[in-house]
Amino acid sequence: MAEVVRPKLFSILLFFCIARLAHLERCQSTHFVNDLVEEEDSSWPDEEDGVDTVQSRHDPRRQSCDMSTGKWVVDESYPLYDSNCPYLSSTVTCQRNGRPDSDYQKWRWKPHACSLPRFDALKFLAKIRRKRIMLVGDSIMRNQWESLVCLVQGVIPTGRKTVSYNGPSMAFHAMDFETSIEFSWAPLLVELTKGPQNKRILHLDLIEENAKYWRGVDVLVFDSAHWWTHSDKWSSWDYYMEGRSMFTNINPMVAYEKGLTTWAKWVDLNLDPRRTRVIFRSMSPRHNRENGWKCYNQKQPLAYFSHRHVPEQLVVLQQVVRRMRFPVYLQDITAMSALRRDGHPSVYRRAMNQQERQNPRGFSSDCSHWCLPGVPDTWNEMLTALL
């Protein structure tokens, strides 16, 4: 009997030894993976406490703050720069163009659940030292790029800053920080080409001609919404194309989703989250109702909305981002900016003479872009907090 038990006991002991060795190997492998993760994450500084955004995947362990909900409060220490900044285009220099009031420059965004740090140019430049940040989109993203350049350029000595151009892109270089703040024109993200008889074709599934300028960038900030909803009169294309199929009419939101999905696939396939951060800024609201005059002569933000309207473009964008593998940060500026009907150039999109100022309604009113200094400065304060 003893001879029978001894082999069984030996087999049992051997089983436990093998199991123990396997457990130790798994533990060592886990520590090795954790070490790799920590090493990979070290390339970017941690986010500031209390700051987070909507992501494609939520991490419940993060302390979050919804910076998109809050109120505008008067702050006499604003603006953070003046309209003499040499990098501003003439269409957004409302003070130089004769706008008589300046209170629109004095409003600071105050989130309900946390504080939004005041923009600090030296801290921002330190965060992106030896890195490239690129804003990609339409003329309103150009609006934001001009704001960001003006926010930082004042701390950089003359002769140590310059602007260069490359195709649809332009870059502000801060030489001592070995960094660049760039803008790349791609209002639809996907490709718009000329076909036979000069017909304009919007390719819903092609993007590389635009995306080749985005490669190698450390921080990419995207926006794309307005051009997708232009009326037939102002549409930028004659046909849609997907694969070999060509269409004259598609529901704008269906086309928008297809275009965003092409962008999302490119990001998932071509970018490495260990090296690149991607932020998608939600659509900037227009105040164009009442024949484009809703923003004219407005001097105060709205205090609140009787009901919050979520634009269809934002719903589509959220759905596309949530399906992505790459961790995209969705920066929601739509509702907070919708309160600021006072912040647009209106008729002060160009300089007017004295006679013209007496009858400003003779000119078209721009209720889409933003006066600078102004609302996009707050978007850039949010962007800095995200980095």
Residues 6+ apart with CB under 8 A from 280: 221, 222, 223, 317, 321, 328, 329, 330, 331
Going from the C-alpha of 288 to that of each of 95, 155, 291, 352, 367, the distances in angstroms are 21, 37, 7, 22, 6
Extract the tokens encoding 120.
Answer: 């600090």
CA angle 247-266-141, nearest 5°? 80
Do 182 and 133 meet the contact criterion of CB atoms below 8 Å apart?
yes
User: Quick one: residue 321, left, alpha or beta (phi over 0 = left, psi -120 to 50 = alpha)?
Assistant: alpha
φ and ψ at 372, to 5 degrees?
-125, 135
Kindly provide the residue ranges of all beta strands, DSSP E only, lying in the chain, ordered along the sequence.
54-55, 70-74, 107-111, 132-137, 161-166, 169-174, 179-185, 191-194, 200-203, 219-222, 239-242, 245-247, 277-281, 329-331
Catalytic residue numbers read 139, 366, 369
Q: What are phi and psi of 303, to 5 degrees?
A: -80, -35
The SS3 call for residue 87 is: coil
Distance CA 48, CA 117 (A): 10
50 phi-psi bin (left φ>0, alpha ψ -120 to 50, beta other): left
For 152-191, letters b (16+ CB in 10 Å) and e give: bbeebeeeebeeeeeeebbbbbbeebebbbbbbbbbbbbb
CA-to-CA distance for 380 and 120, rounded, in angstroms? 11
